[in-house]
Amino acid sequence: MSYDVARLKILLSARIARAIIRLIAFLLLAQSCLAQTNDSATTSTPANDIFALTVQANQGNVDAQLKIADAYLRGAGVTQNDKEGFRWFLAAAEKGNAEAQYAVGSLYSIGRGISRDDVEATKWFVKSAENGNAKAQYNMGVRYAYGRGVPKDDRQAASWFRKSAEQGLAVGQAGLAAGYALGLGIPQDKAEALKWYTKVAEQGLADAQLQVGLIFSNGNGVSVNYQQALFWFQKAAAQKNADAEFNLGLMYEHGQGMPIDFSKAAEYYELGATHGSAYALSNLGGLYQHGTGVPQDLQKATKLYTMAAEKGSFPAQRYLAGAYLTGNGVQKDAAQAAKWMQLAAEHGDAETECNLAILYQTGTGLPQSYQDALAWFQKAAEQGYVTAQHNLGALYGNGQGTTKNLVEAYKWLWLAEQGGYKDTQHALELLKAQMTSEQITDAQRLADAWNTGHSHPKSK
């Protein structure tokens, strides 16, 4: 079967949270600025009457200045000229027009028609935002969130996102929702996060629809509601959102709010895979590996796992490492096993870190290196993985990859024994024979201090 559903949903939730952060980091840029403000002089002159617009713009008509600026930027009716476009937007901006001020900030931000200048961009975004422009308010939220042109300030970011959100701008609402979800600049409030994500989702933004689906699917601040999750996942999937398609596959595979249907699961995983989801590729590989909902095909499973692994999927990378080590569905290949184990270990999973350390220790698929083995055992041991703690203690006791250190050796072996590792008692007895009572006391004190600062062991 495919990988543990709870783990995958946690991984995906974290990834979607990052996707929302990337969403709020996207700076809206003015493509056309034809909106008028109540205090602007207006003109009924068509946008393609360049001569008449130029005359009116030179007479100080703000609406004409906006239209001629847009024409120069787009090359509509005139030779495209970014510098002229910027000049006319600046003229309108200096008269206090919020749309023009937003356009000038945008052009400074990307260096179009003028040299890029974050300080000037921020200055004009502030002017536009203070004049009530929702897109500028959103941009100021982004700038404070990431310290672009201003000092990083989550509270200011949340304040500007709120101003933008209350005007109905979807990305501003997404920014505010993320603030509530992650407690950035405002107290964490899952109910408020859901409220604002829902507002964005109702405007059709697929990433927000996905986020609402995840909230209901995981019961994040609300009761689990698979029907609501299904509704929002389907909305996002209709827009070819790969992560929503993946989640629909999960729901059908595990019978969440519906009868188990492996064929439908495979169908949604296929869609998600087609649209770029590494997790969908990995789970589809699992179905083909076991012949669940699809004909069993180990060759196709390995191909799918490889595609997923190349996209950074930890479960796929871990599977391939094991497959190449054991020859499960592929020819044994220690070098390939080590390659995928190295990539999988970078995700921070303690068991995988420990396995990579063993490959270094034994020289399997890569040059033997006790120093590298020590480093990876250390990473896993610090997470409470008792096998790694035992092996780390052995390296310290034997002076392999490091200077021999009986106190450190005893500390890690004692922690492994306390965590339930069965083969540690004999090693501890051998160490005791080489140590003074003071060294043993020091080692136990260090172990107690480690336990105080860490949770219970992750695994045996």
- The string of pLDDT tens digits covering residues 19-62 is 554 454 444 544 433 333 333 445 566 666 888 999 999 999 99
pLDDT at 9: 39
pLDDT at 1: 38
* HEC per residue, the chain: CCCCHHHHHHHHHHHHHHHHHHHHHCCCCCCCCCCCCCCCCCCCCCCCCHHHHHHHHHCCCHHHHHHHHHHHHHCCCCCCCHHHHHHHHHHHHCCCCHHHHHHHHHHHHHCCCCCCCHHHHHHHHHHHHHCCCHHHHHHHHHHHHHCCCCCCCHHHHHHHHHHHHHCCCHHHHHHHHHHHHHCCCCCCCHHHHHHHHHHHHHCCCHHHHHHHHHHHHHCCCCCCCHHHHHHHHHHHHCCCCHHHHHHHHHHHHHCCCCCCCHHHHHHHHHHHHHCCCHHHHHHHHHHHHHCCCCCCCHHHHHHHHHHHHHCCCHHHHHHHHHHHHHCCCCCCCHHHHHHHHHHHHCCCCHHHHHHHHHHHHHCCCCCCCHHHHHHHHHHHHHCCEHHHHHHHHHHHHHCCCCCCCHHHHHHHHHHHHHCCCCCCHHHHHHHHCCCCHHHHHHHHHHHHHHHHHCCCCCEC
More confident of the two residues 41 and 164 = 164
pLDDT at 428: 93
Query: Is the pLDDT assigned to residue 294 strictly greater than 80?
Result: yes
pLDDT at 82: 96
Q: What is the pLDDT of residues 128-138, one digit of tens each?
A: 999 999 999 99
pLDDT band at 329 (very low <50, low <70, confident <90, very high): confident
Query: Is the pLDDT assigned to residue 16 strictly greater than 60?
Result: no
Q: What value does the mean pLDDT take over residues 384-400?
A: 96
pLDDT at 15: 46
Q: Which of 187-196, 221-230, 342-351, 424-433 has the lowest mean pLDDT?
A: 424-433
pLDDT at 44: 60
Is 0.85 surpassed by the pTM of this model? no
pLDDT at 50: 86
More confident of the two residues 57 and 17 = 57
Cα dihedral: 421, 422, 424, 426 (round 10): 170
Query: Is the pLDDT assigned to residue 439 strictly greater than 80?
Result: yes
Domain boundaries, the chain: 368-453
Q: What value does the mean pLDDT take over residues 226-240?
A: 97
Q: Which of 37-51, 83-97, 331-345 has the lowest mean pLDDT?
A: 37-51
What does pLDDT average to over the chain?
89
pLDDT at 4: 38
pLDDT at 45: 61
